[in-house]
Structure 1
Amino acid sequence: MTPQPIEIPGRFGFGTMSMTWTSQPPPIQQSIDTLKYVTSHQEYGVKLLNGGEFYGPNDANLKLLQQFLSTNDATINESLIISIKGGIDMTILKPNGSKEYISKSIENVASYFPKKGNARGPKLIFEAARVDPQVPYEDTISYIKQYVDNGTIDGISLSEVGIKSIEKATSIAPISCVELELSLFSQDLIDNGILSFLSNKQIPIIAYSPLCRGILTDYCVEHADSFLSEIPEGHFKHSLDKFQPDNFAHNLVALKKLYAFAHDVKHTSLESLALSWILKISGHHSYKGIDKVTRILPIPSGSTIKRVELNFGNFIELTDDDLTTIDTILKENPVKGLRYNAQSEGSLFQ
C-alpha cells in the first residue's frame, strides 16, 4: 500500500520539550496531568503531541510520553499523534542522517510506543531534527521511509529545512508536516519563501516557539525588569540572541506596543494575540502574495494546567485590518536578534 501523509486534526498541537529538557523539570505526575488536560479538553482539541528523543537525559521525554499513554484508555491513545524528533548525536551535538544512526534512533523511539495487536496506540511520526550536511538528504528520508513501509512508524515530518531539502524529501516519500519556528518575533519562514513553497504543496507547518520562548506573554511585559534574571542558571535561553540584554531592551518597544494592542484594542492577552495571529494566517487567502496559506498548527507548551489555560484559553478572531496593524507595529519597530545565535544559524533552514 502506498504510504500517505498523516492527517493532523485540530488547530493546535502541544510541545513537550519544557516538561523534560530543562534544568528544573517539573514533577512527572504534574506533566501527565497537564497532558491529559490538554488532550481531553473539547475546546482545545489537541491531538498532536510533539517531543524529542534528546529532550532530556536518558530518553526522559519518551519515558514521559510512554507513562502518559499508559494511563489512558486505548481509544483515546488511538486518536493521538506523537511526533518525535531524533537523529541527533548528543555526544557531539550534531545531526547524523546515516542509515545506521537513523535506524538506531527510530528503533529506540518506536520501542516506547509499541503497536500491540488491534490496539495500535497513537500514530507515530518521526523527523530528523536537523539536516546532516554529510549525508544526501534524500538518502536520510529514504532510510526513514523504510520504517514507514514496514509499519514501525506511520509518517514522516521534516524539521528546520529549506526549500531544496523539502523538494528532495517530497520526491522520496509523502511528508505529513514540516516543523519550523514561527512567531510574531520570528517570521523568517514568511520572508524567505518557505511559507509560499509549502503552501503551494499544502504541506502543514508545525509552528514551534509560537510565543518566542515566553517573550510574547503578559508576564514578560509585566515583569520586564526581572524577566531575564529569573531564567535559571544554565538554561539554554541564556545563549539565544533575543534573550541578550541589549536585544531584549530594544525589542521591548515593539513588545509593549503589541501588549497594548492586545489589551486595549482586542481585550485579550499578549499570548492570545500571538497565537491568534498564527491561526489567522493559517489557511488565509491572498496573504502576502500566497493564494491560500497552508495549515499552520502552533504548538505552545506549558508544564502546568494553569499555563495551558493562559495559552489556550482566550483566542480571538483577528481581522485583516488587525494583521495590518500588527505588521505596522513590527515594521516601525524591527525586532533584533537571530532565532538562535550566530553559532547555530548554519543549521537552520537547510
Structure 2
Amino acid sequence: MELRTLGGQGLTVSAQGLGLMGMSAFYGSTDEAESLATIDRALELGVTLFDTAEIYGPFTNEQLLGRALKGRREQAVIATKTGIEIGDDGAVTGLNGRPEYIRRALDRSLHHLGTDHVDLYYLHRVDPQVPIEESVGVMAELVEAGKVGHIGLSEAAPQTIRRAHRVHPLTAVQTEYSLFERGIEQDGVMATLRELGISLVAYAPLGRGFLSGAITSPDDFAADDYRRIDPRFQGENFQRNLAVVDEVRRFAAAKNVTPSQLALAWVGHQGAVAIPGTKRRRYLEENTAAAAVTITAEELAAIDAAAPHGIVAGDRYTSDQMQFVNG
C-alpha cells in the first residue's frame, strides 16, 4: 500500500484508509467477529488509517477498534471525532463544540480506544453557537498535552477552515467526496485546502455504496439501514442516479476493474485519501486493490464528462441533517 503524508505536520498514512462506522451503526446488522477479522485483514494489506467517532454506536465503534488494536497500537493511525454531544448513557443531545465538552469527550474516547493518544482528532461538526477559535483552541491544547497528534475538521466551510487554521495548523479536513458528490469543487473547500496545504480525507467515496454497482433497489437495504431515508435513494432520484452508476460500470468494464475500484481510484487521483467503509473482508480486499489502478488523463476527462458536479439527483442528507453540514 502506497503511503501519503497528510497536511504539513508529517502525519503519514496509507493512501487508502478504512472507515469503521458501518461496523457499529447506521448500515443495518453488524457482525463483531467479521468486523474484527476485517480490521486484521486491513492491517495485513498495509492499511494504517482507521476512522471512527464517538457517535458511531455511540461508543461501540471506538471500543471495537480498541479491541482490534490491543497489543499492536503502533501499527495504526487512529482518527476519531468529537463535537456531537453524547451523555455517558449514550443519549445524543446535539452539537457541542465547547472546550469543556471536547476535553471530556477526548478522555472518554481514549478510554474506549484503550490508548493514551489519538493520531488525528476531528471536530465532527462545527457548532454554530461556539466560535471555531474556541473549539480549535482547546484541540491545540490537547496536542500540546500529548493526547492528540494532529487535528482536523469535518464538513466545514472555507472561511471556517481558514479561521481554524490560523489558530492551529489543520492536518486534514474530512468531507464527503466521490463521483457522486463533487460539491467541494464548487463551493471553495477544495481550493482552500490546496491553498493552505491541508489534506482532504474523503468519506463516502463510493456514494454510500451506490457506486459499487451492487445496489439496484431501495429494497436492497435492511429495515434499519439509514440509506432508506437518504434522499438520493428515494423514488425518481434513485432511478436517475442509477444512470450515473451505469456510466461508472461501463468505464470500469473497459478497464477490467470493478466499479468500486474505479470510483476509489478516481478519488485518489484527485489527491484525496479515501476512507471507504466496509464490514466484510471480501469488500475490503476489492477496495484496497484500487490503489493499483491507474487512470489516464484522457480517461479522467471522459469520466468527468460522464459524472460532472450536479449530475446526481437529491441532497446528500435529509433537510434536518443538512443544517449541520458545511458549517
TM-score (norm 1): 0.85
Shift of 1:280: 1.4
Give the secondary structure class of the aligned counterpart of 2:214. Answer: helix
Decide whether aligned partners of structure 1 residues 250 and 218 sit closer, same or farther in structure 2, where only a CA change above 3 A counts.
closer
Q: Deviations over 1:160-188 (max 9, x none)?
A: 11111111111111212111110000001
What does residue 154 of structure 1 align with?
149
Q: Deviations over 1:79-132 (max 9, x none)?
A: 32100012212445521011221111111112234557xxxxx75322121000
Decide whether aligned partners of structure 1 residues 80 and 23 sit closer, same or farther in structure 2, where only a CA change above 3 A counts.
closer
Contact kept, 8 Å, 1:78 with 1:123, in 2: the verdict is no
Q: Deviations over 1:42-79 (max 9, x none)?
A: xxx3111000101014x101110110111x44xxx213
What does residue 13 of structure 1 align with?
17
Deviates more, 1:327-336 or 1:25-34: 327-336
Contact kept, 8 Å, 2:95 with 2:125, in 1: the verdict is yes
Give the secondary structure class of the aligned counterpart of 1:212. Answer: coil
Shift of 1:8: 2.7
Q: Letter of the aligned partner of 1:273 in structure 2?
A: L
What does residue 80 of structure 1 align with?
76
Please report the RMSD computed on the Cα atoms of aligned residues, expressed in angstroms.
2.0
Structure (1 or 2) with the larger CA radius of gyration: 1
Query: Which of 280, 289, 302 pairs up with 1:304?
Result: 280
Q: Deviations over 1:131-152 (max 9, x none)?
A: 0000001101111111111112
Q: Is 1:279 equivalent to 2:255 in the alignment?
A: no
Shift of 1:234: 2.8
**Aligned-partner Cα distance in 1 for 2:82–2:22:** 17
What does residue 102 of structure 1 align with?
102
Shift of 1:335: 1.3
**Aligned-partner Cα distance in 1 for 2:165–2:75:** 26
Q: Letter of the aligned partner of 2:105 in structure 1?
A: S
**Aligned-partner Cα distance in 1 for 2:309–2:112:** 49
What does residue 65 of structure 1 align with?
65
Contact kept, 8 Å, 1:247 with 1:337, in 2: the verdict is yes
Q: How many residues align?
A: 315
Shift of 1:29: 2.2
Contact kept, 8 Å, 2:13 with 2:77, in 1: the verdict is no
Q: Letter of the aligned partner of 1:250 in structure 2?
A: R
What does residue 30 of structure 1 align with?
34
What does residue 203 of structure 1 align with?
198
Give the secondary structure class of the aligned counterpart of 1:211. Answer: coil
Identity %: 27
Displaced runs of 4 or more, over 6 A: none
- Which consecutive unaligned segments of at least 5 residues does structure 1 have? 117-121, 283-295
Q: Letter of the aligned partner of 1:155 in structure 2?
A: H
- Which consecutive unaligned segments of at least 5 residues does structure 2 have? 1-7
**Aligned-partner Cα distance in 1 for 2:233–2:156:** 24
Q: Deviations over 1:12-38 (max 9, x none)?
A: 111000101136443222211110111
**Aligned-partner Cα distance in 1 for 2:94–2:309:** 38
Decide whether aligned partners of structure 1 residues 333 and 258 sit closer, same or farther in structure 2, where only a CA change above 3 A counts.
farther
Query: Which of 160, 169, 181 pairs up with 1:174?
Result: 169
Q: Letter of the aligned partner of 2:305 in structure 1?
A: T
Shift of 1:9: 2.4
Give the secondary structure class of the aligned counterpart of 1:327. Answer: helix
Contact kept, 8 Å, 2:50 with 2:78, in 1: the verdict is yes
